[in-house]
Chains A and B, each alone.
Chain A
């Protein structure tokens, strides 16, 4: 349509003004996009490896992408710009909001930029969408967020690895604890109506009911189009449930938690969830409304171990904010690639890295040590966390470890 538009009647000054605005926007966007491309030495140098980074630089997932870039950058810079003794050249591509942007971006990384491995990927649809591409190209993809169970389940591949979590896990780890807390009272289960929400609730209900818990009712809200949760909150109040278990992230997490407090539920019914509810920027926006919410996740900024002490200090120092689970998973993605590359002599291929990833043992991570399972998912601990005040802001404080 744009091509058919004749600009004859647009006055020149408006064209200039619009062009100026457009140029300004593009410049800003370009700056944001190229921020990660650091350290690229000359190509052809034997000691340089090209690592692809597939992360959302735009769209609703961009805040997660930023945390993940920060974790990755921190690890590489802490190691002098090298992984496994080789200089690393990062090539970043935009994952966008789904496979329609991510698949071409992944193809470009593999076929045009000829990277030896790729890390990142926020969306599960993307991870599943590029699975065959990576498997057939024999390039390993180290996923540092996307949580669909399938990725390390039915769809597992020699070339897919994951350093984050599977969606069911934080919820399954939480079930017995919540059952113990409500002591036979019903729990209202509510989640966003999409694959991750369903997987999360499935994981929770399985262990929760096995531990003697009762589900009072269950509701799935339209994903990404619910601005007002009041009708659902009203149904919760009338259900006679004694607690609520939910799964929301990002904008929906902010709206749900704020309205949960505004409509007076926070005083009556304890709210439990996987930790994504109150992670990162969402917690800042929720503010007071989130106080006291208990969640389950594989990381909390105050975890007491030497690796985390160092990591948290360095992260806060450099980015002036608390690290998140998203940053830790990407930091660890760099760590496993570091270990894998260290064990390879001479020229590096994707096949060699994939094989070497299989030999990676215990990873000494800020979340505590973990290792890959048979299907390349982390075997890790989950922690009970509670939202508390910290200085002028809020934090997810560790209460204790959750028993598997």
Chain B
């Protein structure tokens, strides 16, 4: 057992790092769906916007901590703006159900991906880790990239913050109340439109900042938007729609499957991801943290 742990320690740790990176992506997707009932298929494209922002600001080599923080700032502003815009264009379609909104966000995703390809070309780009986080550190006798430890730290802090914000804070209470009964919240003097736009913008902010955070690991290239969107959707399905806890445990599970699963069962590497999703959908259709099946939004038969 000890020998096994020792041999696979780096893989387990790496699964956590990869999982927490995916968490930043999936939690935004999950919140937007849970709170606003919009399946935002442009989430992956927004991640890619963040990744290209990191490539442009930080570069492929060198790159100071200041440049990295600047990239986060740029990505944050872009994310907030994109969220407000998406909230604006999906709201008029709200009564027509999920399909129309999802198609609209899919269209936005295609346009954004094409614009990025026109701006940055189709080459594969990497992003340098910020100075001080480059190179590897020894973890219990094994070499491990310092930047990935940083990602683990950031991911854990972010998870705690989002959990406190949504589940424990007053703002979170207003958000949940808005989802439950919009008219009642309006009646006590809260502008519910602002609440909804705020949630959307926060979700997309997490996507673009996730792109910066993931830049030094996954780089920036055409097609990455689809890859991360699919991983995010798998996590949201596994974790349960709209749940922060679900996204957290779903992301950690997918992280381990992508890394430890591949170590233990290399022959089945291609099937592990979707095999897990199928298994969980069979055993717990509402997801790991899901409670009851969600009722469909009015007019969602589209």
Contact = CB atoms under 8 A, between A and B. Distances in A.
A25 B126 contact: no
B92 A234 contact: no
Contact of A286 (B7, B126, B143, B269): B126
Contacts of A58: 117, 122
A62 B144 CA distance: 34
Contacts of B88: 14
Contact of A285 (B126, B217, B263): B126
A285 B60 contact: yes
A58 B118 CA distance: 10
B18 A25 contact: no
Interface in B1-24: 7-8, 10-11, 14, 18
Interface stretch (A76-84, A88-96, A157-165, A247-255): A247-255
Interface string A191-231: 00000000000000000000000000001011001111011
Give chain A's interface secondary structure class: helix
Given A21-B111, A263-B143, A287-B60, A63 B118 contact: no
Nearest to A392: B61
A32 interface: yes
B67 interface: no
Contact of B145 (A5, A262, A284): A262
Interface string B84-126: 0000110011011000100100010001001101100111111
Contacts of A262: 136, 145
Give chain B's interface secondary structure class: helix
B270 A60 contact: no
A155 interface: no
B60 A284 contact: yes
A285 B124 contact: yes
A228 B7 CA distance: 18
Interface in A250-300: 250-251, 254-255, 258, 262-264, 281-282, 284-288
A277 to B, nearest CB: 12
Given A5-B103, A225-B270, A263-B10, A255 B219 contact: yes
A60 B107 CA distance: 20
A310 interface: no
A285 B145 contact: no
Nearest to A229: B262
Nearest to B231: A227
Contact of B221 (A24, A251, A288): A251
A228 B145 contact: no
B260 interface: yes
A9 interface: yes
Contacts of B89: 14, 18
A222 B122 contact: no
A221 B258 CA distance: 12
Contacts of A318: none
A35 interface: no
Given A228-B258, A287-B61, A9 B92 contact: yes
Interface residues of A, number: 49
Contacts of A21: 111, 115
Interface in B32-51: none
A231 B7 contact: no
A18 B259 contact: no
Contact of B124 (A221, A225, A281, A287): A281
A231 B269 CA distance: 11
A232 B266 CA distance: 9
A25 B100 contact: no
Interface in B102-160: 103, 107, 111, 114-115, 117-118, 121-126, 128, 136, 143-145
A255 B123 CA distance: 13
Contacts of B118: 25, 28-29, 32
B4 to A, nearest CB: 11
Contacts of A60: 122, 222-223
Given A231-B262, A235-B263, A63 B124 contact: yes
B61 A228 contact: no
Given A227-B227, A234-B8, A263-B144, A63 B263 contact: no
B2 to A, nearest CB: 15
A98 to B, nearest CB: 14
A230 B219 contact: no
A203 to B, nearest CB: 23
Contact of B10 (A25, A62, A234): A234
B136 A254 contact: no
Nearest to B94: A9
B195 interface: no
Nearest to A251: B124
A235 B96 CA distance: 51
B218 interface: yes
A365 B263 CA distance: 45
Given A25-B118, A287-B60, A10 B263 contact: no
B266 A63 contact: no
A243 B180 CA distance: 60
A365 B70 CA distance: 47
A281 B263 contact: no
A230 B14 contact: yes
A5 B102 CA distance: 12
Nearest to B221: A251
Contacts of A232: 262, 266
A263 to B, nearest CB: 6
Contacts of A28: 114-115, 118
A25 B115 contact: yes
A176 to B, nearest CB: 29
Interface of B: 7-8, 10-11, 14, 18, 60-61, 88-89, 92-93, 95-96, 100, 103, 107, 111, 114-115, 117-118, 121-126, 128, 136, 143-145, 217-219, 221-223, 227, 258-260, 262-263, 266, 269-270
20 contacts: A5-B103, A10-B92, A24-B115, A25-B111, A25-B118, A29-B118, A60-B223, A62-B122, A66-B121, A227-B258, A228-B14, A230-B259, A231-B263, A234-B8, A238-B7, A251-B124, A254-B124, A263-B144, A264-B143, A282-B124
Given A60-B222, A287-B61, 14 more contacts: A5-B103, A25-B114, A32-B118, A59-B222, A63-B121, A227-B218, A228-B258, A230-B11, A231-B11, A231-B262, A234-B8, A251-B221, A263-B144, A288-B61
User: Which 8 pairs of residues, A with B, have the shortest CB-CB distance?
Assistant: A264-B143, A62-B122, A281-B123, A231-B263, A285-B126, A28-B118, A231-B262, A262-B145
